[in-house]
Structure 1
Amino acid sequence: MRGHRGRRRSGGIGAGRGRPLVVAALVLGVTLVAASSVAVWRGQGVSEVGTDAAAELTAPPPTEAGDPPVPITDGRGGSERTVRPPVTLSIPALGLAAQVNQVGITPETGEFDVPPSVDQVGWYEYGPGLEAEAGSIVVAGHVDSADQGHGAFYALGELAPGDLVEAADEAGEVHQFEVVAREVYDKEEIPLARYFARDGELRLTLITCGGEFDPAAGRYQDNVVVTAVPAP
């Protein structure tokens, strides 16, 4: 997992539509940025760092006999699960303070949903919340929009190892995470099962679009993924 991923330029998470990918038995569609997005951002030549560190976080920890397998394959958290959703997300290095919405799958399209306002971000409500001790807490956001300009994650690709990300819950408790990796994937090649997993070490996964904008397809060609772990 080094360097830019293959450039087949189709499908995946991001603006536009393509072949859906399956994670946790849900078709997580292809729209993380509104289909109205245009080449406001135009790609920033995001490089990769910390790919080995990110990969090491996905190894599942030992579980006791009888524990249910993860991720839960129907996308639901189970009736006994008590979830503490993030309600705000702050990234001091980017001067970002964004409202976090709970999002899931759009029933009509089977696509991963995100807030219509590009200055807000979406937490995948069927995955781990801030109470979790394992797995990937997923927050996705827009990079830009034709109508609204820069999105909350416009500069996500500028984050570097050591930068801090702060997520606050409804009680006002702030959970601090430290960036360990920044990766770039062709949309068709992003390993969604890895980034939406409920096992492995606890981490915060931030996803947006990146790469060059394809005017014909109406979408960006890559995804930028930033991984952060609980700060010491």
Structure 2
Amino acid sequence: MAVPLAAVVVLACLTGCSSADRVPGGRSLSTDGASSAPAAPVPVAPSPAPSAFSSAVPLRDAALPAEVPAVVAPVRIAVPSLGIDQAVRPEGVDPTGAMALPADPAVAGWWRFGSTPSSTSGSTVLAAHVDAVGYGIGPFAHLVDVPVGTRVTVTSADGTTTPYAVATVDLLAKTGVPWASVFDHDGPRRLVLVTCGGEFDTATHHYRSNLVVTATPL
């Protein structure tokens, strides 16, 4: 899941998982030329800054199945033991071809082209910024300390609640996240929570890792 950065730091901080004050997972929530004549300067395009999730969403066949089941979107996620209780809204693809996220870290995004809690297979992906300038620390920052077995509840638009238990908690370098598995449609039914974490890169104003929490239905 990627979130693009603009060239300027302020917008970069607003759109990325960034903070100079706190680092979840780090426990600090705070040419050489032959001619003698001077060569004319050669314009060099700026290098793009790394995105918050570092990977485009895996591509799939766009053909629709014979029957398209009704989609009941998740609208809220709660982890009572960590004080997490936040709204969830559907998100699609951003201009870079990666999953978009709400700007406010207090709101999680649901990958609306994937599975839902009522699906019989695949992962329901919920993601949020860990923090953002102008908003502060988001609830998903607490996931860095979530113990295996912790209960997570997702409420859907029809009022149905689906309980899960945390199975795995992985802090992975952004370039090492198995995104095809995160966005899986066909594997076992599960919930996947994603945010940023690890060390904070002051040059790019992004965290260097993603925290990926997987939970299985109870």
On whether the aligned pair clears a TM of 0.5, the verdict is yes
- Deviation digits for residues 107-150 of structure 1 (CA, Å, limit 9, x no counterpart): x3323101121110000000001221111110001111121110
Quickly say closer, same or farther: Cα 1:216–1:45, change in 2 above 3 A: closer
Q: Within 2, Cα distance between the matches of 1:109 and 1:198?
A: 22
Quickly say closer, same or farther: Cα 1:149–1:77, change in 2 above 3 A: farther
| Alignment coverage as a number of residue pairs | 181
TM-score (norm. length: structure 1): 0.71
2:92 alignment partner, one of 96, 104, 112: 104
Quickly say closer, same or farther: Cα 1:13–1:222, change in 2 above 3 A: farther
Amino acid at match of 1:205: V
Q: Which runs of 5+ in 2 are unaligned?
A: 7-11, 28-57
Q: Within 1, Cα distance between the matches of 2:142 and 2:182?
A: 20
Displacement, 1:192? Answer: 0.2
- Deviation digits for residues 22-71 of structure 1 (CA, Å, limit 9, x no counterpart): xxxxxxxxx9x82372223223348xxxxxxxxxxxxxxxxxxxxxxxx9
Which structure has more RCO (C-alpha within 8 Å, separation ≥ 6)? Answer: 1
What residue is the counterpart of 1:222 in the other structure? 209
What residue is the counterpart of 1:188 in the other structure? 175
TM-score (norm. length: structure 2): 0.75
Displacement, 1:156? Answer: 1.0
Amino acid at match of 2:109: G
- Deviation digits for residues 72-115 of structure 1 (CA, Å, limit 9, x no counterpart): 81468756132111001101111111000100102x33231011
Amino acid at match of 2:110: W
Q: Within 2, Cα distance between the matches of 1:75 and 1:166?
A: 31
1:130 counterpart = 2:111: no
Amino acid at match of 2:137: H
Q: Within 2, Cα distance between the matches of 1:77 and 1:207?
A: 27
Q: Which runs of 5+ in 1 are unaligned?
A: 1-11, 18-30, 47-70
Amino acid at match of 1:116: A
1:86 counterpart = 2:67: no
Quickly say closer, same or farther: Cα 1:76–1:103, change in 2 above 3 A: farther
What residue is the counterpart of 1:40 in the other structure? 21
Question: Identity over aligned residues, as a percent?
Answer: 32
What residue is the counterpart of 1:4 in the other structure? none
CA contact (8 A) 1:38 1:219 kept: yes
CA contact (8 A) 2:17 2:129 kept: no
1:211 alignment partner, one of 192, 198, 201: 198
